[in-house]
Amino acid sequence: MNWAVIFEPQNLALFGTGIVTTLTLLLSSLAVGAVMALAFSLALTGPWAPLRWLVGAYTYFIRGTPLLIQVYLIYYGLGQLEWIQARWDSVWPWTHFKEPFFCALLAFSLNTAGYTAEMLAGAIRETSAGEIEAAQAYGMGRWRLMARVVLPSALRRTLPAYSNEVVMMLQSTSLASAVPSLIDVTGAASRIYSDYYLPFEAYLSAAAIYLVASFCLIGLFKFAEGRLLAYLAPRKS
């Protein structure tokens, strides 16, 4: 095995570019997906049945189809439609569909929004009846009750499950290499493999990067859970 190749300046720079792309894609998709998930979770738990069914159908599709297929549907599907290509030089938002990063970001954001919405909606439904009754006794309306009592509690209780979603999204960003000209960590490893024919060195290096990033994310979420969910821990006698 020839590990010296991995530490050559141009290959280290390639992995550096891949790390920046992966982290940018991860953080951006999580931010956009979180906003969408919040709106979707309110729709899933709201009183409007048609909206519940529509969002429910969306989350069912997202959770029932592979992420790679979703990436292909956006990049090779929407992005290649003649109607969009005729407008992607001048008409917003179609101008973004010629950018590989945007197509990957859109696919990942829609995906994480579907999963996160169902997790948050489940936490909202499981909010203690005592908390709701106490807030209603203070005269809180539906939206004030949701904003000041239900959502803060649900967000904290969703944290352990959401940490798994974030780690899964980190690993799922490796599918961005399926989009041409987008260099993430996996794409960098593939480039090194094609240049030097060193599959073990290239992909083991990529695996090590994902492993370190995953442990860092898990550590951050464990710290956050310890601070935000301490009130749920059993009291010592």
| Spatial separation of the C-alpha atoms in residues 7 and 12, rounded to whole Å | 6
pLDDT of residue 85: 74
pLDDT tens, N- to C-terminus, the chain (237 residues): 788 889 999 999 999 999 999 999 999 999 999 999 999 999 999 888 999 999 999 999 999 999 999 998 888 887 677 777 777 777 777 777 778 898 899 999 999 999 999 999 999 998 888 878 887 787 777 788 888 888 888 888 899 899 999 999 999 999 988 887 789 999 999 999 999 888 999 999 999 999 999 999 999 999 988 877 766 655 555
Strand, coil or helix: 8: coil
Do the Cβ atoms of 145 and 41 come closer than 8 Å? no
Q: Residue 83 corresponds to which amino acid?
A: W
Q: Distance between CA atoms of 58 and 117, rounded to whole angstroms? A: 10
**pLDDT reported for residue 41:** 94
- Nearest to 182, CA basis, from 71, 94, 95, 78: 71
Q: Give the span between the Cα atoms of 7 and 11, in whole angstroms.
A: 6
Going from the C-alpha of 113 to that of each of 10, 30, 199, 200, 233, the distances in angstroms are 36, 8, 34, 34, 29
Structure tokens at 105: 């970001």
Cis? peptide before 199, omega within 30° of 0 = no
Domains of the chain by range and CATH? 3-228 (1.10.3720.10)
**Rounded distance between C-alpha atoms, residue 140 and residue 160, angstroms:** 29
Q: Quickly tell me which residue has 């592979």 as its tokens.
A: 66
Identify the pLDDT of residue 65. 95
Residue 227 is predicted with a pLDDT of 79
